[in-house]
Amino acid sequence: MPLSMLFSPILTALTNRAIPSSLLATVEAENAPIVLSSVLLSLVVIYLASKVGSELAQRFDLPPVLGELLAGVVVGVSALHLIIFPEGDLTATDSLIMTAVQLLNHLTPDNLVNVFASQSEVISVLAEIGVIVLLFEIGLESDLKQLKAVGTQAVVVACVGVAVPFGAGTLGLMSIFHVPAIAAIFAGAALTATSIGITSKVLSEMGQLKSKEGQIIVGAAIIDDVLGIIVLAVVASLAKTGSVDVVNVGYLIVSATAFLIGSILLGQLFNSSFITIASKLKTRGNIVIPALVFAFFMAFIGNAIHLEAILGAFAAGLVLEESDAREELDELIKPIADLLVPIFFVTVGARADLSVLNPAVADNRAALLIAIFLVVVAIVGKVVTGWFVFGIPNINRLAIGIGMVPRGEVGLVFAAIGSTSGVLSKPLEVSIIIMVILTTFLAPPLLRIVFGKPTESNITVDSVE
Amino acid sequence: MPLSMLFSPILTALTNRAIPSSLLATVEAENAPIVLSSVLLSLVVIYLASKVGSELAQRFDLPPVLGELLAGVVVGVSALHLIIFPEGDLTATDSLIMTAVQLLNHLTPDNLVNVFASQSEVISVLAEIGVIVLLFEIGLESDLKQLKAVGTQAVVVACVGVAVPFGAGTLGLMSIFHVPAIAAIFAGAALTATSIGITSKVLSEMGQLKSKEGQIIVGAAIIDDVLGIIVLAVVASLAKTGSVDVVNVGYLIVSATAFLIGSILLGQLFNSSFITIASKLKTRGNIVIPALVFAFFMAFIGNAIHLEAILGAFAAGLVLEESDAREELDELIKPIADLLVPIFFVTVGARADLSVLNPAVADNRAALLIAIFLVVVAIVGKVVTGWFVFGIPNINRLAIGIGMVPRGEVGLVFAAIGSTSGVLSKPLEVSIIIMVILTTFLAPPLLRIVFGKPTESNITVDSVE
């Protein structure tokens, strides 16, 4: 059992003391203990940041997740440089954790680069598994029947929330800022998709996930996520060839629809056998492991057919929500989510480079005006969606619209691809990044305002979050 | 927030369909979704294997962890090639999971190598965190007072269990097999250290962790782990320079002692404030996150001072064992352990290359005779330790000795370093590997036999494992 981990402390001890490292050069995984050290140190920093952030936010009556995002900004690339990733111009020597590890282990420059890459890879994957577990938990806490009941509303909200910001953004950029058509379409498209992770976490924190508004928002955000992928495929092929790749777009639409419906049908089949399986298992993890196998497998499928892993995880949770073991599963998933989800939010904050807000840089000044326009369109374009909800009396229309505001992920993908393919100018790219950052950080406090003060039971630790 | 994860599905979709990958070459983390896919698929395989293995073992009245190890062998390098690591001659094309991922994503050979390396790195670190959480849990379930009470016994057992196999192994190899002195000392040293992970897991599964025997075994195994690191440093410097690096050995002895005592003293300080902190936190994870920060930080320190991460985690658990929040913490750590610990045991099995047992290979035939000798010395040399326990009437002496039998990790480090430094011949190296594999797989069923059949309450899911 040549476990790389087990080689580790001994090899380190020897490498640094008894035997010159050349002798051990052929022993694999020489860096393994150092990678482990850096991952452990990163996790300690991430958890401390997440707890300080969420507790402070709680004290100021803000959503805890906003605290985690901001704490991530503090420990990340914008400030302390503790949690950074090898992106852009950043290298191992920029990372304070890597500097500490380097001091402890006297790594060669090559090894330092390798350790930094490995550590970043591990933390990134843990963050990805974190958002997968979050969406699985959100699925578990959602109500499939309720979601079906508001399904039409969710589709309407999603479609309006894609069409309005896209149209207003594109036309506005062309007419007000005289941006070329293709670039304007690209930037307009970046305004479309909603970040489901942030919205659903805030809803869950406020105990609003099961409300009509909450379920419409979650349903619409899921549909938005799929629409965003399709819009991106359309716009990217337009930018590249001047025409739309109909086959690819058709594939995405069909596979997304088939996946969501298929997974729910398949899941209901699995669901009935889930209790049987779990009750027959006699060793530890009898409930949580089958559930996670299902969630991870669905996430894998979602990823493998070029949709998103989180869609699969959400579908898995939604299906198990109807299971008899749900309450027990809920309790078991909580500590796992507490372990993994903060890694996601802190790293989201850590990766947000707030230096794009610095007006001393010329590109940023040019970007700020466009960014203000984009932020207004991004917010107004989503807020109006609430008024397209029909047939449900006494619904909080403003809350639905605000719930769709955070952009997060997909907007940044647009900025990155647009910039790489040469379609977007630097100021336009920066303005998209500013728009994504602002909508992401504004949405949580706005949501809390429009939903009203949560009841005491919802903000304590025991709440169904 | 340019999350690599969020780039992923979209970039994949585009890379494979709309836009040639060259266009996206500068976009970082292009492989991120594929790494995520491979990690998810690996986890699904690991969890399925661990559940099938542990449930089958349970049915045959064997320790579940043995089932997990054997299931790991089945999915690993010895059989199905699902979970393998880039060690020895193994490459990405040997991995069935990589082959599946390759089919789905049409990776270039270079990218395939990178994805395989990243996936292996992530799974390895998860396994390492798994054994850290396991030892934290073992620490939580141990009894500091009990451990102090049997402390002298544990030291005696550990020292005898190092001295006897080392002496008998070295002398036997020299006199019976005419092995050169340095090589014999190296092989003898490989017989010394006990694998704490496997033994403590079996004890926990049998509900014997808190018994006098259990606490002596755990205490002695911890001391053994430290002694093993020291013996390795001595032997390695002997093999290298012909003399012993007294400074290094002194450093290891002092740092290990200082670490274990210091962490318990420091921990008792932290412990009193732990409840205060946990009770003041109002957001999710108020108990589990501070506890894990402590455990990971101690593991980091253990690793950083060139001891082992698991020592720090054990010390952290031991200290919090005395805390008032212990029962709640116990419940919260369980699902986290269920999530991470199987990754450790399945990968231990997966990395065990049973082809060394194949007598068709000439080196293996030569090795088998030596291996039989080493296995006998390895078992007898540890079993005798039980009879050195004094002053405790009615103690199960055989159980204590058997509990020290599994070698696991450190023995393999000896084999790897000995082979790399040219001290060990190929047959001798192979025989050490065989000895490690056999003692590891034999110990769990033997332990169950010598402890007698567990009571019904201990083998059900609800047991304090």
pLDDT digits (tens, 9 = 90+) for A165-217: 999 999 999 999 999 988 898 899 889 888 888 888 889 988 898 888 999 99
The residues near B425 (Cβ < 8 Å, ≥ 6 apart) are B183
The SS3 of residue A442 is helix
Strands (E), A325-419: none
pLDDT of residue A65: 86
Q: How far is A17 from chain B (nearest CA, A)?
A: 7
d(CA A156, CA A164): 12
CA closest to B464 among chain A residues: A284
Q: What is the rounded average pLDDT of the residues A283-312?
A: 89
Which residues in chain B have their CB less than 8 angstroms from residue A288's CB? 335, 338-339
**Mean pLDDT, contiguous 10-residue spans, chain B (465 residues):** 36 36 38 91 97 92 86 93 89 92 88 92 94 90 82 91 94 93 89 86 89 91 82 76 75 82 79 82 90 94 83 87 83 95 90 83 84 94 91 88 82 74 83 87 89 52 37
d(CA B403, CA B448): 10
Contact B1 A440 (CB under 8 A): yes
Say what the alpha-carbon torsion angle B175, B193, B386, B144 is, to the nearest 10 degrees. 160
**DSSP-based helix, strand, coil % in chain A, nearest 5:** 75, 0, 25
Which residues in chain A have their CB less than 8 angstroms from residue B29's CB? 87, 124
Contact A320, A140 (CB under 8 A): yes
State the distance between the two ends of chain A, measured CA to CA, in whole angstroms: 41
Look at A49-58, A308-317, A416-425 and tell me which has the smallest mean pLDDT. Answer: A416-425
CA closest to B436 among chain A residues: A1
Q: What domains, with CATH codes, occur in chain B?
A: 4-125 (no CATH), 128-459 (1.20.1530.20)
Q: In this structure, is the dihedral angle defined by the CA atoms of residues A232, A238, A241 and A244, taken in order, positive or negative? A: positive
Name the residue facing B10 among A124, A338, A413 (closest C-beta): A413
Mean pLDDT over each residue of chain A, to the nearest integer: 83
Query: How large is the angle between the packed helices B288-304 and B109-141, nearest 10 degrees?
Result: 110
The pLDDT > 90 percentage for chain A reads 34
d(CA B202, CA A283): 13
d(CA A214, CA B40): 29
Contact B122 A127 (CB under 8 A): no
Q: How far is A396 from chain B (nearest CA, A)?
A: 26
Contact A412 B32 (CB under 8 A): no
Which residues in chain B have their CB less than 8 angstroms from residue A132's CB? 40
Which residues in chain A have their CB less than 8 angstroms from residue B47's CB? 289, 292-293, 296
pLDDT of residue B3: 36
pLDDT of residue A11: 38
Task: Give how far Cα A9 sits from Cα of A34, B5, B127, B408, Å.
Answer: 9, 31, 15, 15
d(CA B218, CA B196): 7
Task: Give how far Cα A354 sits from Cα of A69, A78, A184, A440, B290, Å.
Answer: 12, 6, 24, 13, 29
Contact A416 B27 (CB under 8 A): yes
Task: Give the global pTM.
Answer: 0.86
Contact B121 A23 (CB under 8 A): no
CA closest to A196 among chain B residues: B6
In a mutational test of the B interface, the residue from A8, A10, A251 whose CB has the highest number of chain B CBs within 10 Å is: A10
In a mutational test of the A interface, the residue from B7, B8, B10, B423 whose CB has the highest number of chain A CBs within 10 Å is: B10
The CB density around residue B262, as the number of other CB atoms within 10 Å, is: 13
Measuring CA to CA, which residue among A124, A123, A107, A125 is closest to residue A31? A107
pLDDT of residue B408: 66
Q: How far is B37 from chain A (nearest CA, A)?
A: 5
The SS3 of residue B86 is coil
d(CA B237, CA B235): 5
Which residues in chain A have their CB less than 8 angstroms from residue B8's CB? 128, 303, 309
Contact B412 A292 (CB under 8 A): no
Q: How far is B178 from chain A (nearest CA, A)?
A: 26
Which residues in chain A have their CB less than 8 angstroms from residue B233's CB? 10, 13-14, 17-18
Q: How far is A148 from chain B (nearest CA, A)?
A: 26
- Rounded to the nearest angstrom, the gap between the alpha carbon of residue B267 and the centroid of all alpha carbons in its chain is 24
Q: What is the ipTM of this complex?
A: 0.86
- Rounded to the nearest angstrom, the gap between the alpha carbon of residue A294 and the centroid of all alpha carbons in its chain is 20
Name the residue facing B36 among A128, A236, A337 (closest C-beta): A128
d(CA B341, CA B338): 6
Name the residue facing B303 among A37, A284, A436 (closest C-beta): A37
In the predicted model, is pLDDT for residue A78 greater than 60?
A: yes
Contact A281 B51 (CB under 8 A): yes
Measuring CA to CA, which residue among B318, B337, B191 is closest to residue B267? B318
The tens digit of pLDDT for each residue in A18-43 reads 333 333 333 334 688 899 999 999 99
Which residues in chain B have their CB less than 8 angstroms from residue A140's CB? none
Contact B338 A284 (CB under 8 A): yes
By CB atoms closer than 10 A (0-12, 13-18, 19+), residue B426 is: middle
Question: Half-sphere exposure of residue A411, counting CA atoms within 13 Å on the CB side?
Answer: 34
Residues comprising chain A, all counted: 465
pLDDT of residue A409: 63
Say what the alpha-carbon torsion angle B56, B57, B58, B62 is, to the nearest 10 degrees. 160
Contact A459 B51 (CB under 8 A): no
CA closest to A52 among chain B residues: B281
- Rounded to the nearest angstrom, the gap between the alpha carbon of residue B82 and the centroid of all alpha carbons in its chain is 20
The CB density around residue B324, as the number of other CB atoms within 10 Å, is: 13
In the predicted model, is pLDDT for residue A241 greater than 60?
A: yes
Contact A282 B412 (CB under 8 A): no
The SS3 of residue B28 is coil
CA closest to A415 among chain B residues: B2
Query: How large is the angle between the packed helices A32-59 and A4-13, nearest 10 degrees?
Result: 100
The tens digit of pLDDT for each residue in A99-123 reads 999 988 888 888 899 999 999 999 9
Say what the alpha-carbon torsion angle A38, A41, A47, A52 is, to the nearest 10 degrees. -130
Structure token pair of residue B262: 């210091």
Which residues in chain B have their CB less than 8 angstroms from residue A127's CB? 3, 5
pLDDT of residue A453: 59
Measuring CA to CA, which residue among B461, B173, B132, B154 is closest to residue B300? B132
In the predicted model, is pLDDT for residue A5 greater than 80?
A: no
The tens digit of pLDDT for each residue in A264-293 reads 787 777 777 888 888 889 888 889 999 999
The residues near A254 (Cβ < 8 Å, ≥ 6 apart) are none
Contact B104 A281 (CB under 8 A): no
Which residues in chain B have their CB less than 8 angstroms from residue A343's CB? none
